[in-house]
Amino acid sequence: MSKKYGLFMLMLLLSVVLVACGSDEESSSSSDDNVLKVGLEAGYAPFNWTQSDDSNGAVAIEGSKEFAGGYDVEIAKKVADKLGKELVIVKTEWDGLVPALQSNVIDVIIAGMSPTEERKEAIDFSDTYYVSDFVIVTKAGSEYANAKTLADFEGAKITAQLNTSNYDVIDQIPNVDKQTAMDNFPAMRVAIESGVIDGYVAERPEAISAAAANENFAYVELEDGFDVEESQISVAIGVRKGDENLAAMNEALAEISEEDRQTLMEQAIANQPAAQ
């Protein structure tokens, strides 16, 4: 065999391998186009939670034997249907959601996330799909359970979830004993029961959820509440900058009436696992 012929055969073989690899990559990319990977905590009832089966419309969590349910999951189903894609739930820690979106690990964030100005610097958001207000969850029967105003929490040990508007507004409580922010709501509930904190700031649905799941919790609806911007109490879908599917997502949200949104939330509160 001549050197020229051997070199020709080697180049031909390499060409076949490269074409095959390219074909596989193209196939993989095409397959991904049919999937909508949604990132959420699966630990923020009634917006999202983890459960052991697919009851009440829960969706399997990628790479797990567990399932995700809740208000966000129901919204995600409607968005996926509108886009003609298969819904895949990717369980992600709160602080990891935006990095996961930016690095293409997930396609969107549907996790009870507020479209704050700070977050808008990193990602884009859909139209709002839920609006709530802030309340304070505390221990039932405690000295704060019958509070009416922010001033009634003077000196109280209050916290909220890390990197949220909930935590930022704590400073509006006079002489508050602001505690270190916590990673998740289950941890805050444990802290209340153990006396580590007196309360935490939450959106109303989460507070209702906490009280419904455990009789040891109560929540305070403030007569003179927190001064907030609408973006701090609104919830929207997080997407990458320039996402071409954003308009279609907004169309999907527009098709959900206000009455239907409230019904979905009521069902989520009723369906949440007792432990959450």
Place of tokens 């602080």: 95
Pick from 17-26, 80-89, 133-142, 187-196: least confident: 17-26
Which pLDDT band holds residue 4 (cuts at 50, 70, 90)? very low
- Beta-sheet pairing, 124-131 with 134-139: unpaired
Digit-coded pLDDT (tens) for 238-264: 999 999 999 999 999 999 999 999 999
Q: Under DSSP, is residue 137 helix (H, G, I), strand (E, B) or coil?
A: strand
> What are the residues facing 126 on neighbouring strands?
none
Digit-coded pLDDT (tens) for 204-220: 999 999 999 899 999 99
DSSP 224: B
Buried b (16+ CB within 10 A) or exposed e, 47-56: bbbbbeeeeb
Q: Please classify residue 4 by burial: count the beta carbons closer than 10 Å to its beta carbon, then call 0-12 exposed, 13-18 middle and 19+ buried.
A: exposed
- How far apart CA 229 and CA 136 sit, in angstroms, is 18
Digit-coded pLDDT (tens) for 22-81: 444 333 333 478 999 999 999 999 999 999 999 999 999 999 999 999 999 999 999 999
> Pick from 207, 205, 226, 232: which is nearest to 150 by CA?
226
- How far apart CA 129 and CA 142 sit, in angstroms, is 34
Res 10: pLDDT: 43
Q: Domains of the chain, with CATH numbers?
A: 32-131+232-271 (3.40.190.10), 134-227 (3.40.190.10)
- Average pLDDT, rounded, for the chain: 90
Sign of CA dihedral 223, 225, 230, 235: negative
Digit-coded pLDDT (tens) for 144-190: 999 999 999 999 999 999 999 999 999 999 999 999 999 999 999 99
